[in-house]
Amino acid sequence: MSADDFIVTPWHVEGDIDYDKLIKKFGTEKITSELQDRIKKITGEDHFMLRRGIFFSHREMDRILNDYDKGKEFFLYTGRGPSGHTHIGHLVPWVFAKWLQEKFDVNMYFQLTDDEKFYAKPNLTLEETSKFAYENALDFIALGFKPEKTKIIINTKNIQTLYPIAAQVAKKINFSNTKATFGFTNETNIGMIFYTSLQSAPCFIEDKPVLIPLGVDQDPHFRLTRDIAPKIGKPKPALIHNIMIPGLEGPGGKMSASNENGTVYTTDDPNVVKKKINKYAFSGGQTSIEEHRKIGGNPDIDVSYQYLRIFFEPDDNKLKSIYEDYKSGKLLSGELKAILIEKINNFLSIHQEKREKAKDKIDQFLFENK
Ligand code: TRP
């Protein structure tokens, strides 16, 4: 573990993340209340993920807004490494991206990196990651992106389009840069070493600046992209970062698609959700009811409360009374879990229906090589 007691890289997140420290370490900027107000003014809406600091950091979001005010367009880009089924943590940047697309009426690219997960995970075949790419695409489509303005890029399928751009990028990144950024060693396979150039490629797919909503663990790739962008005559990608979503067994780290118990998948049925939350969701409560009534629980480390805050309870008043009741001991851990279970299952019953319908729509979304 690092001296800071937490690690955040695209392939490894561990420990209790101090986000102010992370901003300093990565060299990003905190989303200030001024920036929040500006976004609120332009979009006409106070998005709870901004208000609650779920999106907490950025790189040059202000430049994107300055340009937008002058009538200069941008486009959106985000992605997913298909190492398994989609879990609810993945939906955070996608839901926010969907909101941005709606408010700014801009194009959106979604990259599925089946190659990356094949390189990064010793036990996954390329057939498996490609299958998960398709499964993950269904979840993305189910969130309601506009087909006319949204394209899904699958690396192994769209390599013909990505490769000439990736080559431009790759020529400007040297081994010591990637090594220092990601901690690669002589044993790292060379697919991983080249990979950043493929994740960079969609940044330059249109001749406009790009804004990328993303989990902060993905920032290091784009730090490299931003460094080389001027060298290939392109604008630097702008970023807006969300916090890591804890796994059920949390409170630290992030939800990982490869730990089945620690993860709620979008494909889970209601009983599975109930069982997982009741059995595994880390509780901030006391060991006995008597003690809980007396001392109260700690919502700040309680994973069920965190899921409500991050995603499932957008109403501030309701969230606040849950917080206070839990803290005072009025609300028991089992009751808090029951609130979350109902929220997740309501969400998933609608999502799963849309996900089924997405199977007939997927062709409209897949990027076609020119
Ligand atoms: N590497 C990302 C992951 O493992 C996937 C990804 C590709 C991505 N392009 C992106 C994530 C752009 C955020 C933004 O999930």
Both structure tokens of 82 = 């298909």
What pLDDT, on the 0 to 100 scale, is given for residue 246? 87
What integer is the mean pLDDT of 276-297? 95
Listed residue (285, 267, 282) closest to 344, CA to CA = 267
- Residues in the ligand 1 pocket, defined by CB under 6 Å: 10, 78-81, 111, 113, 116, 199, 212, 214, 218
What pLDDT, on the 0 to 100 scale, is given for residue 252? 64
Number of domains in the chain: 2
Listed residue (96, 75, 89, 220) closest to 153, CA to CA = 75
Q: Are residues 274 and 160 in the same domain?
A: no
Q: How far does residue 92's CA lie from ligand 1's centre (Å)?
A: 13
Q: Are residues 225 and 278 in the same domain?
A: no
Query: Which of 213, 248, 283 is at the close of a domain?
Result: 248
**1-10, 225-234, 346-355: least confidently modelled range:** 1-10
Query: Which of 219, 248, 277 is at the close of a domain?
Result: 248
Q: How far does residue 2's CA lie from ligand 1's centre (Å)?
A: 24
Listed residue (206, 192, 200) closest to 219, CA to CA = 200
Task: Look at residue 92 and tell me whether its pLDDT is greater than 60.
Answer: yes
What pLDDT, on the 0 to 100 scale, is given for residue 168? 98
What pLDDT, on the 0 to 100 scale, is given for residue 15? 85
Task: Look at residue 344 and tell me whether its pLDDT is greater than 60.
Answer: yes
Three-state SS for 215-258 is EHHHHHHHHHHHHHHHHHCCCCCEEEEECCCCCCCCCCCCCCCC
Q: Are residues 237 and 274 in the same domain?
A: no
pLDDT tier at 109 (50, 70, 90 boundaries)? very high
In tens, the pLDDT along 120-159 reads 999 999 999 999 999 999 999 999 999 999 999 999 999 9
pTM score of the predicted model: 0.96
Q: Are residues 40 and 164 in the same domain?
A: yes
Report which protein residue has its CA nearest ligand 1's atom 9: 79
Task: Look at residue 259 and tell me whether its pLDDT is greater than 90.
Answer: no
pLDDT tier at 209 (50, 70, 90 boundaries)? very high
Q: Which domain holds residue 337?
A: 260-357
Q: What is the best residue among 113, 115, 152, 165 to mutate for testing ligand 1's pocket, by most ligand atoms within 8 Å of CB?
A: 113
Task: Look at residue 326 and tell me whether its pLDDT is greater than 70.
Answer: yes
Q: How far does residue 216's CA lie from ligand 1's centre (Å)?
A: 10
Instruction: List the CATH number of the domain containing 301.
Output: 1.10.240.10
What pLDDT, on the 0 to 100 scale, is given for residue 11? 87
Q: How far does residue 324's CA lie from ligand 1's centre (Å)?
A: 36
What integer is the mean pLDDT of 291-320? 97
pLDDT tier at 241 (50, 70, 90 boundaries)? very high
Q: Are residues 78 and 224 in the same domain?
A: yes
Q: Are residues 198 and 310 in the same domain?
A: no
Tell whether 255 is covered by a domain.
no
**114-118, 260-264, 303-307: least confidently modelled range:** 260-264
